[in-house]
Amino acid sequence: MDALVDKHAAQTERDGDRRTPVHRPSREEAEAAVRTLIQWAGDDPGREGLLDTPRRVAKAWQEMFAGYHQDVGEELDTIFEEVGGYQDMVLVRDIPFFSHCEHHVLPILGHAHIAYYPRGGVVGLSKLARVVDIHARRLQTQEHLTAGVTQAIEEHLKPRGLAVMVEAEHMCMAMRGIQKQGLSTVTTGFTGIFKEDPQEQLRFLTLVRQAFKAR
């Protein structure tokens, strides 16, 4: 096992994730796989315009799937306890993300909205978007993404309540298969007072909807 796989193994345990770490192929092996797929598509990976494509695709995958090597805990380990007595809802809405579905490895494009009621303190606002990014940069379903973001924030921040809503379009339904464009899939995760009190869910959903009206 190389260092990256070891780090992923530790991260897998911390995130309560079901994935089993596997041997990581070399960059050359990854590029060879891209050449095979180009041939499978019906083109010649040896022609001039495609010569550098395997290198570019491997580099793009490194960036798009960087979440396998990032640790959500590191982003959420700074809690600001001095908040002037603020105890009401903190909502960060319209966090844009790109992910890839684990069934077809095609893009999922969407927005996440995250709200919580602080208990002991608050996290930096950007950190919530970073948690979304880390989870989004892995292969998964939208449900898995929503549950992963919810669990990570719940575990590290321990708020009085947490609400996560993800709205996304799946390119595997737009570009192929059923070929329906513009569909939106909505998934939610509620904990604490958001889970217990439907009025709190309503308040969250109302604030999120107002964000869309304002655009």
Ligand X SMILES: Nc1nc2c(ncn2[C@@H]2O[C@H](COP(=O)(O)OP(=O)(O)OP(=O)(O)O)[C@@H](O)[C@H]2O)c(=O)[nH]1
The kind and range of the H/E element at 35 are: helix 27-41
Binding of Zn ion by 174 (CB under 5 A): no
Q: Which is nearer to Zn ion, 80 or 98 (CB)?
A: 98
Residue 115 interacts with which of ligand X, Zn ion, none, CB < 5 to 8 Å by class: none
Label residues 177-190 b or e (16+ Cβ within 10 Å = b).
eeeeeeeeeebbbb
Least Cβ distance, residue 147 to ligand X (angstroms): 11
Active site residue 8: no
- Distance between CA atoms of 66 and 59, rounded to whole angstroms? 10
Catalytic residue among 103, 143, 196, 210: 103
Q: Which long-range contacts (CB under 8 A, 24 or more apart) does 3-11 make?
A: 4/68, 4/69, 7/69, 7/71, 8/68, 8/69, 11/68, 11/69, 11/70, 11/71, 11/72
Active site residue 172: yes
Residue 142 interacts with which of ligand X, Zn ion, none, CB < 5 to 8 Å by class: ligand X
Binding of ligand X by 105 (CB under 6 A): no
Residue 209 interacts with which of ligand X, Zn ion, none, CB < 5 to 8 Å by class: none
Least Cβ distance, residue 187 to Zn ion (angstroms): 15
Binding of ligand X by 143 (CB under 6 A): yes
The kind and range of the H/E element at 63 are: helix 53-64
The DSSP line for 102-128 is TTT--EEEEEEEEEEE-SS-EE-HHHH
Binding of ligand X by 172 (CB under 6 A): yes
Binding of ligand X by 171 (CB under 6 A): no
Binding of ligand X by 141 (CB under 6 A): yes
- Distance between CA atoms of 211 and 213, rounded to whole angstroms? 6
For residue 152, the one-letter residue type is A
- Provide the 3-class DSSP secondary structure of residue 80: strand
Active site residue 101: yes
- Distance between CA atoms of 143 and 103, rounded to whole angstroms? 13
Q: Which is nearer to ligand X, 164 or 193 (CB)?
A: 164
Q: Which is nearer to ligand X, 102 or 196 (CB)?
A: 102
Kindly determine how many residues on this chain lie close enough to bind ligand X according to the rule CB under 6 A: 10
Q: Which is nearer to ligand X, 27 or 176 (CB)?
A: 176
Annotated binding-site residues for Zn(2+) read: 101, 104, 172
DSSP conformation class of 158: -
Chain contacts with Zn ion (rule: CB under 5 A): 101, 103-104, 172
Where on the chain is the footprint of ligand X (CB under 6 A)?
A: 101, 103, 141-143, 170, 172-173, 177-178
* Residues designated as active site: 101-104, 142, 170, 172
